[in-house]
Amino acid sequence: MSTKLLLSFLLVFGVFTLNAQESSVSELQLMPWPQEVNVNSSDFKITKDFSIYIHGEVKEDSRIFKASTRFLRYMTDKSGVFVNQGFPNSKGMDTESASLQIGFNEVAKVEMGIDESYTLIVDKGGIKINAATDVGAMHGLSTLLQLIKVNDGAYVFTGVSIEDEPRFVWRGLMMDVARHFMPIEVVKRNIDAMAFVKLNVFHWHLSDDQGFRVELNTLPKLTEMASDGLFYTQDQIRDIVAYADARGIRVVPEFDVPGHGSAFLTAYPELGSKKDIEYSLERDAGIFDPTLDPTNDKTYEFMDTLFKEAAPLFQDVYFHIGGDENEGKHWHENPEIQQFMKENDLKDNHELQTYFNIKLEKILAKYGKSLMGWEEIMTENMPKSALIHSWRGVNEGVAPGQSLVDAVKNGYKTILSNGYYIDLLLSVEDHYAVDPMPAIELTKEEASRILGGEATMWSELVTPLTIDSRIWPRTAAIAERFWSAKEVTDVDSMLERMNSISQSLELMGIQHKKASEYIFRNLANYQDTHALRTLSQISEPFKIYSRNAGGTEYKTYSPFTLFADACIVDAKDVRPFRKAVEAYIKSADTQTKEAVQQYLKTWKGLHEQLEMISPDAPLIATILPYANRVAEISERLLNGIAEGKLTQEQFNDLKLLLESKEDPSLNLDVELAVSKDLLVLATYLAE
C-alpha cells in the first residue's frame, strides 16, 4: 500500500492496527512527507567504508559534488563514523560497489518549473538515488539524511523505496532584513535549512521604512543615509545568490514601493509626495505615510536607475516590488497629485498606484525581469504577466486568501502567504491547516495558476539572535503543505516528525534552541537557569502583533533578550500537560493523578527558585510576580486534588485568578499557555 493511501485510510477510518510494513512507515521521521513510500526490512549500516559515486562527468565545483560532500559531513557528524573516503568519486574507488550511487540526466538551471522529482532506494546491498536533474538528486540526499536511525546499537539508513516530487513549484520563505538587518551568516544558515526541507524560493525583503540594504553605486545615498551602515555589498549579494543556487534555491529580491518609502525618501527626499517635511528612517514598527510621488518623472528615472543596477545582481526572472499597505495619506494632501489624478481620469489611490505599477512593469521588463507584488497591485488594468502575492486576511478586512481566488479567475498567476505569517507566532497547527489550493471548485487552468506559497518572517520583533527560533521548526511543517500530497494532514504525526526535524536542523547550523539558552543565561546573570527554562515551557510570546500594539512599544534598537524572546510558540509542556489532565479526568486513578500532580509541584516551586537567584540577577525581578501567580494557581489545584474537590468559592477564586486582567505575565509579553487546561482541571474538581 502506498503511504498516501495508507494515511488517507487511517485518517478516514481511524484504523490503529497496522501490519509490520505499515508500522515501519508510520515510524519514519520524514518531512516533508514523500508522495510514495514503501519500507523494507533491509537497512543499510553506516561504516567506515561508506562511499559515494556520482555517475557522469562530475567536477569538484559542481552543485551535486558539493551537495554530496555536505551530505557526507552531516552523516559523519551525526553518526561519529570515521569514513575512509571523505569525498564523492574518490580516486581508486570501486565505483561498482560504492555505498551510494547517484544518477541524474541534466544539470538544471535553477528556475521555476524545473523537474525536482527523484527516486530513492535503500536496502542492505546499497543506496541508489536517481533523478531527472541534479536538483532532484539533492532532494533525494535531504530525504536520505532524514532516514538515519539507530538499529541494534549502530547508525543505519532505513530500508525504503521512495518516489517523490513536489505538489507546488513555488515553495518559499520570505525574510525581512530591513526592520532588523540579518548578517550573511544568518541568511546562509537559513538557506541551508530551506534546502533540507525542500523549500526552493528565498524571498529577500531588502527595503522598508527602517532601512535600505543593498549597495548601489549609482544611488550611493541609499546606503550612506538610509541604512545605518547595515547593508549587503554587491559581492555579498552575488555570494548569497550563488550560495542559494548551489542548493537549488531561487532568490527573489523585494524593494517595497511606493509605500513603505521612508528609507528611499530619507536619501532622496525630492521623490516624496509631501515636500514640506524632513524624512528620516523609522525606528518604530507599523504603517507610515512617506510615499513615492507617482506623478513625478524623476521618480521613474530613479526607479530605472535602481533596477538597471540591481536587476543583474539576481538571477531569477521575478522582482518583487511590494506595493502593499499604501494608505495614500500624502497623496491626498498634495494638490498637484490630486490635479494629476483628475487630468488622467484616475478615480482613486488604487488606480494611481496601478499607474505607477504599470510603469515599473515596463522598466523591469527592459532589464529582463517580471514584476510581482503583494495583492494590492491587482487591478483591472494590471498586466496579466504580474504575479500576485496573496497575504491579507480577516484582520485586514478581507476574506483570507480571497485575492488568491480572484487572481486565478482573472488570469493571474499567484502564490499564497495568508495563513503562513510565522511572525504572528501562531501555533504550528494553525499554519498546517492552511492549504495553498482553496477548497472551492476551480478549472484545471485556474488551479494551474496557483504556484504555491511562502512563509513570511517579518522582522519587527526579531534580531539575528532570535530569528531562527521564530522560523524553525514550524516552517518545516509549512514546507510539507507546499510539497506533500494534500491528504497528508495528520497533526499528531506532523508534530512527532517536526520534533525529529528540529533536531536535524541543529545539524544544519540553525540556532533555534541555542538562542533561548543564551537568553536564559543572560536573564539569570549566569546563575542556574533551570527554573527559567521550566517556566518558559508553559509560556508563549504574545501573538498577532499584540506585543507591539500601536507600533510604539518596541523600537528597532530595543532589547530583544527578554523572557518573551526566549519563549517559543507551541511551548514544550502544553500538549503533554493537556493529555495528562484529559487522562486524569477520564480515569482519576493513582497513575493519572500523580502525573498531573508532578507538573503542579514543579510549577509551584519555580517562584522560590527564581527568588533565590534574583539578588544577583536584576532582570529576574520582572519575572517573579508571574512565577508567583503560577505557584499560587498550582498550589490551589494541588490542594483541590488532595481534597478530591474544590468548593464553589475556591473555584470562583481560582477562575478569577486564571482570567484576571491583572495577570503579571502581561508585563512580560507572554501568556500562560496552560491556562485553559488549568481551568479545565479546576472545573472538573468543582463538579
Which string of DSSP letters, residue by residue, matches 307-332? HHHHGGG--SSEEEEE------HHHH
**At which of 164, 187, 208 does a domain end?**
164
Q: What is the pLDDT of residue 12?
A: 36
φ, ψ (nearest 5 deg) of residue 453: -165, 175
pLDDT band at 256 (very low <50, low <70, confident <90, very high): very high
Neighbours of 360 (CB within 10 A): 26
Q: Could you give the count of Cα atoms lying within 13 Å of 622 in the half-sphere of its Cβ?
A: 13
* In the predicted structure, residue 407 carries a pLDDT above the cut 50: yes
Report the percentage of the chain scoring pLDDT > 90.
89
Name which of 11-25, 334-348, 421-435, 667-681 the model is least confident about. 11-25
Q: Are strands 201-205 and 211-212 parallel, antiparallel or unpaired?
A: unpaired
| C-beta separation of 292 from 264 below 8 A | yes
The DSSP bridge partners found for residue 100 are 52, 127
Q: Are strands 44-45 and 154-157 parallel, antiparallel or unpaired?
A: antiparallel
* In the predicted structure, residue 248 carries a pLDDT above the cut 90: yes
Q: What is the pLDDT of residue 341?
A: 97
CA distance 561 to 580: 32
> What are the tens digits of pLDDT across the range 148-158?
999 999 999 99
Q: What is the pLDDT of residue 53?
A: 97
| C-beta separation of 35 from 5 below 8 A | no
Q: What is the pLDDT of residue 580?
A: 98
Mean pLDDT across the stretch 70-82? 98
252 and 369 share one domain: yes
Q: Are strands 201-205 and 170-176 parallel, antiparallel or unpaired?
A: parallel
123 and 269 share one domain: no
* Residue 67 neighbours by CB under 8 Å, 6+ apart: 134, 137, 138, 141, 246, 247
Secondary element (H or E) of residue 161 = strand 160-164
420 and 314 share one domain: yes
CA distance 304 to 54: 45
65 and 134 share one domain: yes
Q: What is the pLDDT of residue 25?
A: 87
For residue 501, which of 2, 187, 147 has the smallest C-alpha distance? 147
CA distance 584 to 597: 10
209 and 150 share one domain: no
The radius of gyration of the chain's CA atoms, rounded to the nearest angstrom, is 27
Residue 380 annotated among the catalytic residues of the structure: no
* In the predicted structure, residue 197 carries a pLDDT above the cut 50: yes
Helix, coil or strand: residue 179: coil
Q: What is the pLDDT of residue 420?
A: 97
* In the predicted structure, residue 415 carries a pLDDT above the cut 70: yes
What sign does the CA torsion over 52, 55, 59, 65 have?
negative
Q: What is the pLDDT of residue 665?
A: 77
| C-beta separation of 635 from 628 below 8 A | no
231 and 353 share one domain: yes
Range(s) of the domain holding residue 632: 515-686
* In the predicted structure, residue 48 carries a pLDDT above the cut 50: yes
pLDDT band at 334 (very low <50, low <70, confident <90, very high): very high
Secondary element (H or E) of residue 121 = strand 118-123
- Average pLDDT score, the chain: 94
pLDDT band at 277 (very low <50, low <70, confident <90, very high): very high
Q: What is the pLDDT of residue 19?
A: 37
Mean pLDDT across the stretch 605-631? 97
Q: What is the pLDDT of residue 396?
A: 59
Mean pLDDT across the stretch 441-467? 97
**At which of 492, 510, 528 does a domain end?**
510
Tell which wins on pLDDT, 26 or 474: 474
> What are the tens digits of pLDDT across the range 1-17?
344 444 443 443 333 33
Q: What is the pLDDT of residue 193?
A: 98
| C-beta separation of 52 from 140 below 8 A | no
Tell which wins on pLDDT, 15 or 192: 192
- To which residue does cell 532506494 refer? 121
Name which of 165-179, 408-422, 648-662 the model is least confident about. 648-662
506 and 522 share one domain: no
Q: What is the pLDDT of residue 20?
A: 40
Mean pLDDT across the stretch 187-205? 98
* In the predicted structure, residue 30 carries a pLDDT above the cut 80: yes
In 470-566, which ranges are E strands? 539-541
**At which of 465, 491, 510 does a domain end?**
510
pLDDT band at 398 (very low <50, low <70, confident <90, very high): low
Q: What is the pLDDT of residue 4?
A: 44
Q: What is the pLDDT of residue 32?
A: 98
pLDDT band at 664 (very low <50, low <70, confident <90, very high): confident
Secondary element (H or E) of residue 205 = strand 201-205
Mean pLDDT across the stretch 537-544? 96
Write down the catalytic residue from 325, 506, 517, 582. Answer: 325
SS3 breakdown of the chain: % helix, strand, coil, rounded to 5? Answer: 45, 15, 40
Report the percentage of the chain scoring pLDDT > 70.
95
Domain CATH number, residue 268: 3.20.20.80
* In the predicted structure, residue 55 carries a pLDDT above the cut 70: yes
Count of residues for the chain?
687
> What are the tens digits of pLDDT across the range 516-538?
999 999 999 999 999 999 999 99
573 and 674 share one domain: yes
414 and 550 share one domain: no
498 and 520 share one domain: no
Q: How many domains does the chain have?
A: 3
- C-alpha 421, offset from chain centre: 8
- To which residue does cell 484576571 refer? 660
289 and 329 share one domain: yes
* In the predicted structure, residue 660 carries a pLDDT above the cut 90: no
Q: What is the pLDDT of residue 352?
A: 97
500 and 577 share one domain: no
